[in-house]
A and B are shown apart, each in its own frame.
Chain A
Amino acid sequence: MFAAAGVPRPQYDALFRRLLELQPSELKQRQQTADIGFLNQGITFTVYGHDEGTEKIFPYDLLPRIITSGEWATIEKGLTQRITALNLFLKDIYHDGKILNDGVIPREMVYSCKHYRREMRGVRVRRDIYVSVVGTDLVRLGDGQFAVLEDNLRVPSGVSYMLANRQVMKKVLPGLFGSYNVRPIDHYGQELLSTLRALAPSARRDPTIVLLTPGVFNSAYYEHTFLARQMGVELVEGRDLLVHDNIVYMRTTAGLRRVDVIYRRVDDDFLDPLAFRRDSTLGVPGLFNAYRAGNVAMANAIGTGVADDKALYAYAPAIIKYYLAEDPVLPNVETFLLDDEKQRRHVLENLHKLVVKAVGESGGYGMLIGPHSDAEQREEFRRRILSDPRNYIAQPTLALSRAPCFIDGQVEARHVDLRPYILYGERVKIVPGGLTRVALRRGSLVVNSSQGGGSKDTWVLSE
């Protein structure tokens, strides 16, 4: 927020002055108004590993994160470039494998990836778009530049909180909101719908689109119902769908209705018990064959997880260069690959300074934060790394940028990241905004909702 002590950055000036005017009690009262708003609307998520009553509200911080139009222009350009390149990469590895033949990426790096789907070899994907719904995690580094921390290319979540945060913000601090020129984000639902529509098999004039959820026990179930409502499409579970002659139908009281596009919030593994995990009860038997026959489209495509493998992440700049002959607009965070002997030795010597992550995990699970770890945890990770080096990467502990937050009646700085939501149908579209996640515990660097993180509204200013 500040350029130097007591001097706010220009975009934070109005917020700073407004904060000076407001009494803490008044701020507190607005925070309560916001919390009640979330609770009444039932905007909740589920934390795994607890019993009944696992629904919690996602903590909301009153103060907005502000991004200037200049900063946003760079983010937009960088993300468009990155998604375009990653899509070309996915098409390539599931068809000709040129990038592998040219030795840019080691073959075994791709084939050993947990999320690589051999079944997708040679499968034609509509418009060659593999990833159409993305939520990329960005962090702001010490030099003020945004960098990509993670590409979430499978089933990214959180967009409903981005939209809900804005709704609540407009109710709770309307004056402040009005004094800024904030670009709107409310049209995300429509954009998502038109993106999905663009993926429908070309012969289907008026496609039927559904959102496939694992069901009420999923942590993001609220978001699934929210998005289905926003788009006006049916929210289905696996048991509502069936496949006959490679055509997907949903079972309605008015008979079977053909389904053309599935926005699936179910992981690859569970989509089709005949093709993938046989014990899955969430999926639809025969779905993969219908997909392969081109009778139904899916967003995202199957097997996209290979491109957000944390080890392949290290190659993203090379991928951008290879397909687009451009330099990446948004840099990567420095990443050490642990199956390289030299890098591994360096990492093992410096475990107390680094962050170690399992390559196939998400949600902040399976990671070691060096500076906050004890000797026992480091020993545990050393053992894990040595037994399966391909499964881990290490990154320097980042000085994540901080933003002012309203905590226990005071304004304090907390670490934040930024997850903008990218859509790719006919072309790449990014709604100007995103989910700013906050590590609510002082000094903590973990922003995941499952690990005690919160969020705040994110304002992208127009020129």
Chain B
Amino acid sequence: MLSRVADSLYWTSRYLERAEHTARLLDLNLNLTLDQSSQVAEQRWRLVMSSLRSIEPDVSPCDAYCLTDHLTFNTDNKDSLVSCVTAARENARQVRELINSEMWEQLNRLYLRVRRARIEGVFAQPHEFYRAVEEGSHLFQGITDSTMSHGEGWHFIQLGRYIERASATATLLDINLRALLDGPGQSAGGQDYISWVALLKSCTAFESYCQTYTADLRPERIAEFLLLNPQLPRSVRFAAERIETSLQAVARLTNARQTGRAERLAGRLRATLDYSQVDEIMADNVHNYLENIQRQCAQIHFAVHQQYIAYSVEAALAS
């Protein structure tokens, strides 16, 4: 497979995953801040901004409307929802002949939907819009998995999605744990209760958490669930396993003679998560632990790029 093609497939799904994550966070937060004091609402927005690693726009004061616009429609912000969906579509368009019509049409529909939307309408009825984006992304994934042949291209799509997901979930957890654990108590009652629920819902994990641990919300259980649960599709461990599997498949399909750096890094990340204990992580420095995970995700991304996309000509000729 041409390197350019693999790169486009990777970024198509990575950008789409990012758009979906942004949509879910905004949807939740706009709902949550409805019945909050302005002081609490301001804190929540700061949390969302940091979780998305976004920088506040140069407008001051920037209220909820302004932030929603910035994170959704501002095309100068390359991480805004519209920018991400546009970038995903543009990448897919470059390899239009290699993805099937069903996938293309779904992505195009989503693109047209978000380009048509305006901030006034979305702010008035946020849930409808963000829900459509989340569903659009899910539909694309479903169509991809059930219609595209699960070869090299499909594995690059998996890599894009799960590298983005592992990194985003680790960031989200890091920011939220810091804000919530430094708060008054660890009882998870009242105001905090709402925040913990929001964190779980940001990973579509609230209902499965309740099934696993009952509705008794405890920080270390929540951390364990989002970080180490092997069955939750949005947990870091789940994503790490998928990353490793896809990298092994790509190596096999490209007849790699030796284990590459990307594969080794992915193996290390998966093993770290496999053998970690949540009590130890919490007792030690949880912030360092999560930052380390984010760093490893970035390393895997660069290693994939170095190994399959932008490798040096000299190295390739020598091997």
Return the contact of A225 from the options B93, B97, B254, B255 (Cβ within 8 A). Answer: B97
Docked CA distance A240–B308 (Å): 13
A253-B254, A254-B255, A256-B316 known; A237 and B96 CB under 8 Å? no
Contact present for A255 and B316 (CB under 8 Å): yes
Give the residues from 38 to 55 in chain A that come closer than 8 angstroms, CB to CB, to chain B.
Answer: 42
Query: CB-CB < 8 A to A237: which residues of B?
Result: 4
Give the residues from 211 to 268 in chain A that come closer than 8 angstroms, CB to CB, to chain B.
Answer: 215-216, 225, 228-229, 234-237, 239-240, 242, 244, 249-256
Interface presence of B187 (CB below 8 A): no
| Residue in A closest to B319 when the chains form the complex, CB atoms | A255
Contact present for B4 and A235 (CB under 8 Å): no
A226 to chain B, nearest CB (A): 9
B112 to chain A, nearest CB (A): 11
Contact present for B94 and A253 (CB under 8 Å): no
Docked CA distance A248–B255 (Å): 22
A216-B93, A253-B308 known; A239 and B4 CB under 8 Å? yes
A216-B94, A216-B96 known; A236 and B2 CB under 8 Å? yes
| Residue in B closest to A254 when the chains form the complex, CB atoms | B254
Contact present for B4 and A42 (CB under 8 Å): no
Main secondary structure of the interface of B (DSSP, over half): helix
Query: CB-CB < 8 A to B6: which residues of A?
Result: 253
A164 to chain B, nearest CB (A): 15
Query: CB-CB < 8 A to A215: which residues of B?
Result: 94
Query: CB-CB < 8 A to A255: which residues of B?
Result: 254, 311, 316, 319
Query: CB-CB < 8 A to A229: which residues of B?
Result: 97
Interface presence of B186 (CB below 8 A): no
**Max chain A CB contacts within 10 Å: which of B4, B6, B311, B319?**
B4
Number of A-B residue pairs, CB cutoff 8 Å, is 51
Query: CB-CB < 8 A to B93: which residues of A?
Result: 216
Query: CB-CB < 8 A to B152: which residues of A?
Result: 253
Q: How large is the interface on B (under 10, 10 to 19, 20 to 34, 35 or more residues)?
A: 20 to 34
B168 to chain A, nearest CB (A): 25
Q: How large is the interface on A (under 10, 10 to 19, 20 to 34, 35 or more residues)?
A: 20 to 34
Return the contact of A240 from the options B3, B97, B101, B317 (Cβ within 8 A). Answer: B3
Give the residues from 233 to 288 in chain B that come closer than 8 angstroms, CB to CB, to chain A.
Answer: 250, 254-256
Return the contact of A251 from the options B2, B94, B254, B256 (Cβ within 8 A). Answer: B2
Query: CB-CB < 8 A to B101: which residues of A?
Result: 42
Docked CA distance A235–B98 (Å): 10
Contact present for A252 and B317 (CB under 8 Å): no
Docked CA distance A215–B152 (Å): 22
Docked CA distance A371–B256 (Å): 67
| Residue in A closest to B257 when the chains form the complex, CB atoms | A255
A242-B313, A244-B317 known; A251 and B97 CB under 8 Å? no
What would 26 A/B residue contacts be, using CB atoms closer than 8 Å? A42-B101, A216-B94, A216-B96, A225-B96, A228-B97, A234-B2, A235-B97, A239-B4, A240-B2, A244-B313, A244-B317, A249-B313, A250-B2, A251-B2, A251-B309, A251-B311, A252-B3, A253-B1, A253-B2, A253-B6, A254-B255, A254-B256, A255-B316, A255-B319, A256-B316, A256-B317
